[in-house]
């Protein structure tokens, strides 16, 4: 008998919030993956070990936005962070863990097919089995036709379910008596196409005429048919043992542009919303047919040699790809494209678009490379002539020669690619070359670590020797004045005289020059952009959003914007915004920053030389970064207009899972509530942002960043509504969001009737108080004495409150260093008397200065509070205390704790902070905030001192940080103090 059971992972409930999904679908449509962008330039994310099993047979997107995957080890659910698995142990109604098919029902449900376990339907949190004809216990494909009927391919054949009636179709309906049915797809006209492996393709027209079989006589490349899809025009495509074909005018036809696939097995093909058809031929990687071209790519990590079993385009335009053994992959549109190559180094230090259209790239260890759409290729013939593969600058001249600067001087390549080397032996003032600029007098200006020279023909003329500073950039203006950007500022050279350029010089590094059309000069410096105009230098620092950000390269997109690279990523700022600052029409402006969430593999731009970026004639801009060449195409920076669906996924009450559906009524005495929520946006999940509030408690919205949970403790009884809203990676908010209504029931003494009795009792006390006061008037002296005692007690209580305030850290609310030292002394004496072990942990947040530099001090404060709360949660009442010891350092006091237990507690704290997954893009350890911990334990009775214990923990902490951070290490033995007799 079909059963009904809740679909719930232990400790996990799934609840759709109050967002109106239909309203979200009315948002501006998202395009599919850009047809003319090479496949390898899409953002590629690979999920393998997170899945219960590596074979992904089917992919579906639920109406709430979640992604569902069918695997041989269970049904996996993904909402942007990790995967939840449902199988017979946590969903007992399932009779098989081998999930072979999954499909959305188009409403709020999901169809699930299994191997030897039948068909199931999920709605809300409930999963029920759906009756199939006797013996049909394995499901291979599921689809709903235009009329609402459900079609299922099974081990017995094709089953059609309409109005609750499941009917096995056979000879009477025109289905062939043999054939193993697998893939199935519905067409817009109401028909259904079904792959019958070894027989051909069956088409059910939907007009009452029954089914018709198409085979090799009707143009099929092979009767062995593995896959089916409908393209955006409603045309059916099939994948066979001998390649793909499409159906038109009653027959199947081959597409001549994809003749290369004619003898390939096509296990999967998929038509996206823009008309592109994707193919996964066995052994050829991923192929794509667009209106303009056909292209295959076998370079995606994890897909080489794989068999693709399923594909899905989600509502944001991401393409999900399920494989036989390597899990699921996702291709996403990104605003920026990062291009790498199989070279010794992908750290790009120099970029030069040459006049002949060649885009030259210089790397830090991989020599020279050229970009040939869509690949970056090493320039082997040039690299063999380089004295060093460490390139710092590239520039072409009017004669077609290519100048390359590196760590071993200058190499000049003629038009035939022959090299000539200039070094110190030829008169060059320094070996490391950072900058080039064409010289109006002929030749090329060269900026080195030890001065400026001009190379003309075969001669080297030293123009300005070293003054203890290195040259980072050069520019010769129309008046023949050479502007020199130094590590320590700005200088100008004209007529053999060096001066401060008439602007008093500039402090800090000058990395880039960009001449303006009005004769002014824009500079990229170590502290933002500087504009030099008519002898006046205008700095755009904090007022323009440059909070100490270095600008390594400065490009004009021709549309009124400056683009620049820095260690925060790539930025864009409108020149009109800078003009508004100049005119006083604006006090603050800010650039738009692009980073890893927008397609960069590493947000660090490579600077310190003059040519780390360039703009080609087609308007595209190219930036060198620490990990690859980043392409910016302003005309094709596709945004994401879809507000993300939001759900409240879990409700935990004092650590116990509660089903969030149905406005739960929570028992009295709740101490801690934890709510988990999610927004289903997959273009860049780490860039999703959340706000939440608890109506009835919070006065306003809480900014949660990308944290997906909220905590509340000791809430008073009452009715509450928890609301959460979210934005996608482009800042498009779903302001309706999700909501959860719940009631916190009162204890007996918090009920209305108890309060009424209390009021009556209070009234009685008032009457009694009046009588007592009359009596007190007669014994005035005794009352005065009592009043003095009361005032003394109040003063004592006030002093106690002040002491508690003085003992707390103002930022985190946990004890401060003074309170920790006091408690340590008390615990020391107590443990010495009892001969018990006492432990101290010293905790330091890794790379916290870099965190402050990247996120700002407000972000740093937020991170410290989060770390403090997590540490405090891990030390129970009576075990000890957690205190802020100073800056980003915390101290933990553990009572009755020996060295082994102290190290175990420290390691769990390291794992607990890592599990918080607070993003730390500037960390040298990983992508999240981590801590290092030193642990020490002694028996005070042995004679050591509290300072000895602290020093031991501090030494262990120092070793933990020196060994790579994100770890806990024990202290060495604390030597006892031998007292003289």
Q: What is the DSSP string of 377-405?
A: EE-HHHHTT-S-SBEEEEEE-TTS-EEEE
Q: What CA–CA distance (Å, rounded) separates 485 from 491?
A: 7
The residue annotated as part of the active site, out of 671, 781, 888, 889, is 888
Q: What CA–CA distance (Å, rounded) separates 523 from 484?
A: 11
Report CA-CA distances (Å) from 593 to 487, 529, 600.
25, 15, 12
- Backbone φ and ψ for 397, nearest 5 degrees, come out as -115, 180
Residue 888 annotated as catalytic: yes
Q: What CA–CA distance (Å, rounded) separates 245 from 238?
A: 6
Residues written for the chain: 981
Rounded to whole angstroms, the maximal C-alpha distance in the chain is: 120
DSSP conformation class of 9: -
Q: Name the β-bridge partners of 154.
A: 139
- Comparing C-alpha atoms, which of 14, 41, 104 is closest to residue 297? 41
Q: Tally the C-alpha atoms within 13 A of residue 756's C-alpha that lie toward its C-beta.
A: 3
DSSP conformation class of 966: S
Q: Can you say whether residue 181 is alpha, beta or left, with left for phi > 0 and alpha for psi between -120 and 50 degrees? A: beta
Report CA-CA distances (Å) from 76 to 67, 79, 84, 105.
8, 10, 5, 17
Return the ∠ at Cα 684 (arms to 679 and 686), rounded to 5°: 70
Report CA-CA distances (Å) from 462 to 266, 453, 490, 510, 595.
66, 4, 19, 21, 41
Question: In this structure, are residues 315 and 641 in contact, taking their beta carbons and an 8 Å threshold?
Answer: no
Q: What CA–CA distance (Å, rounded) separates 208 from 942?
A: 94
- Comparing C-alpha atoms, which of 1, 12, 9 is closest to residue 676? 12
Report CA-CA distances (Å) from 505 to 237, 435, 492.
68, 19, 9
- Comparing C-alpha atoms, which of 43, 39, 612, 632 is closest to residue 347? 612
What number of other Cβ atoms are within 10 A of residue 865's Cβ? 15
Q: What CA–CA distance (Å, rounded) separates 530 from 925?
A: 34
Q: What CA–CA distance (Å, rounded) separates 604 from 553?
A: 12
Long-range CB contact pairs, 618-622, < 8 A, 24+: 619/557, 619/558, 621/555, 621/557, 621/563, 622/351, 622/353, 622/359, 622/371
Q: What CA–CA distance (Å, rounded) separates 784 from 418?
A: 107
Radius of gyration of the chain (CA): 35
Q: Give every CB contact of residue 22 below 8 A, 6+ residues apart in sequence.
A: none
DSSP conformation class of 250: T
**Angle at which helices 780-806 and 752-778 cross, to 10°:** 130
Q: Reading across the β-sheet that carries 225-230, which strands appear in turn?
A: 225-230, 236-240, 243-248, 251-253
Q: Which residues are catalytic?
A: 888
């Amino acid at each position: 008998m079909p059963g009904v059971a809740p679909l719930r992972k232990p400790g996990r409930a799934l609840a759709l919030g109050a967002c109106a999904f239909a309203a979200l679908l009315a948002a501006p449509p998202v395009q599919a993956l850009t047809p003319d962008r090479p496949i390898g330039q899409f953002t590629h994310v690979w999920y393998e070990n997170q899945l219960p099993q590596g074979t992904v047979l089917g992919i579906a997107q639920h109406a709430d936005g979640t992604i569902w995957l069918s695997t041989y080890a269970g049904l996996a659910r993904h909402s942007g962070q990790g995967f939840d698995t449902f199988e017979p142990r946590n969903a007992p109604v399932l009779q098989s863990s081998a999930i072979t098919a999954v499909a959305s029902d188009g409403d709020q449900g999901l169809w699930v097919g299994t191997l030897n376990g039948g068909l199931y339907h999920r709605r809300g949190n409930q999963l029920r089995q759906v009756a199939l004809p006797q013996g049909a216990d394995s499901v291979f494909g599921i689809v709903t036709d235009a009329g609402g009927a459900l079609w299922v391919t099974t081990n017995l054949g094709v089953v059609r379910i309409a109005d609750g009636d499941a009917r096995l179709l056979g000879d009477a309906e025109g289905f062939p008596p043999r054939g193993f049915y697998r893939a199935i797809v519905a067409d817009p006209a109401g028909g259904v196409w079904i792959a019958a492996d070894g027989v051909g393709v069956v088409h059910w027209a939907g007009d009452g005429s029954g089914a018709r079989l198409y085979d090799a006589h009707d143009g099929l490349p092979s009767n062995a048919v593995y896959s089916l899809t409908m393209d955006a025009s409603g045309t059916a495509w099939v994948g066979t043992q001998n390649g793909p074909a499409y159906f038109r005018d009653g027959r199947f036809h081959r597409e001549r542009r994809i003749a290369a696939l004619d003898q390939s097995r096509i296990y999967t093909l998929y038509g996206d919303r823009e008309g592109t058809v994707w193919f996964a031929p066995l052994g050829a990687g991923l192929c794509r047919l667009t209106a303009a071209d056909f292209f295959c790519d076998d370079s995606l990590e994890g897909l080489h040699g794989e068999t693709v079993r399923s594909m899905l385009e989600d509502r944001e335009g991401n393409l999900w790809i399920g494989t036989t053994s390597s899990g699921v992959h996702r291709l996403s549109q990104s605003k920026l494209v990062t291009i790498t190559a199989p070279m010794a180094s992908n750290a790009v230090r120099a970029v030069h678009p040459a006049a002949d259209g060649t885009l030259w790239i210089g790397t830090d260890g991989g020599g020279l490379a050229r970009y040939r759409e869509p690949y970056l290729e090493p320039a082997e013939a040039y690299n063999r002539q380089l004295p060093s593969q460490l390139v710092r600058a590239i520039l072409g001249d009017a004669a077609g020669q290519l100048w390359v600067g590196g760590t071993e001087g200058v190499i000049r390549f003629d038009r035939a690619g022959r090299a000539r080397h200039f070094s110190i032996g030829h008169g060059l003032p320094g070996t490391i070359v950072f900058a080039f600029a064409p010289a109006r007098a002929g030749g090329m200006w060269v900026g080195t670590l030890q001065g400026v020279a001009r190379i003309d023909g075969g001669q080297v003329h030293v123009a300005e020797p070293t003054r203890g500073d290195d040259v980072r950039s050069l520019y010769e203006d129309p008046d023949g004045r050479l502007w020199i950007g130094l590590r320590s500022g700005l200088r100008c050279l004209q007529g053999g005289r060096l001066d401060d350029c008439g602007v008093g010089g500039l402090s800090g590094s000058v990395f880039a020059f960009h001449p303006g059309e009005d004769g002014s000069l824009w500079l990229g410096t170590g502290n933002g952009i500087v504009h030099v105009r008519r002898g006046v230098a205008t700095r755009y620092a904090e007022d323009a959003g440059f909070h100490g950000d270095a600008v390594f390269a400065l490009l004009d997109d021709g549309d009124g914007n400056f683009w620049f690279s820095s260690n925060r990523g790539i930025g864009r700022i409108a020149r009109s915004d800078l003009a508004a600052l100049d005119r006083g029409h604006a006090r603050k402006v800010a650039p738009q920053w692009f980073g890893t969430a927008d397609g960069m593999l590493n947000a660090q731009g490579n600077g310190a030389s003059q040519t780390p970026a360039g703009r080609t004639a087609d308007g595209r801009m190219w930036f060198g970064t620490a990990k690859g060449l980043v392409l910016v195409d302003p005309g094709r920076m596709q945004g994401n207009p879809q507000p993300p669906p939001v759900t409240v996924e879990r409700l935990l009450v004092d650590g116990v899972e509660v089903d969030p559906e149905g406005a739960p009524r929570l028992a009295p005495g709740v101490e801690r509530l934890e709510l988990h929520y999610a927004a289903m946006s997959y273009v860049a999940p780490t860039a999703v942002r959340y706000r939440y509030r608890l109506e009835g408690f919070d006065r306003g919205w809480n900014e949660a960043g990308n944290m997906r949970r909220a905590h509340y403790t000791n809430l008073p009884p009452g009715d509450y509504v928890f609301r959460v809203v979210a934005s996608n990676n482009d800042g498009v908010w779903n302001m309706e969001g999700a909501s959860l209504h719940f009631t916190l029931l009162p204890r007996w003494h918090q009920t209305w009737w108890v309060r009424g009795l209390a009021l009556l009792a209070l009234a009685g006390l008032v009457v009694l108080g009046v009588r007592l006061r009359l009596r007190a008037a007669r014994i005035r002296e005794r009352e005065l004495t009592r009043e003095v005692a009361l005032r003394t007690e109040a003063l004592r209580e006030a002093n106690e409150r002040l002491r508690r305030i003085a003992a707390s850290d103002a930022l985190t609310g946990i004890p401060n260093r003074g309170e920790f030292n006091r408690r340590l002394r008390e615990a020391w004496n107590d443990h010495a008397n009892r001969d018990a072990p006492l432990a101290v942990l010293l905790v330091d947040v890794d790379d916290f200065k870099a965190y402050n530099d990247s996120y700002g001090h407000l972000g740093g404060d937020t991170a410290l509070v989060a770390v403090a709360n997590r540490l405090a949660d891990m030390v129970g009442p009576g075990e000890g205390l957690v205190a802020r010891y100073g800056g980003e350092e915390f101290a933990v006091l553990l009572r009755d704790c020996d060295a082994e237990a102290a190290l175990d507690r420290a390691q769990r704290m390291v794992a607990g902070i890592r599990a918080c997954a607070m993003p730390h893009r500037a960390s040298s350890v990983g992508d999240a905030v981590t801590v290092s911990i030193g642990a020490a334990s002694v028996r005070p009775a042995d004679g050591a001192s509290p300072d000895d214990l602290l020093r031991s923990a501090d030494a262990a902490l120092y070793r933990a940080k020196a060994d790579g951070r994100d770890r806990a290490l024990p202290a060495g033995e604390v030597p006892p103090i031998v007292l003289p007799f």
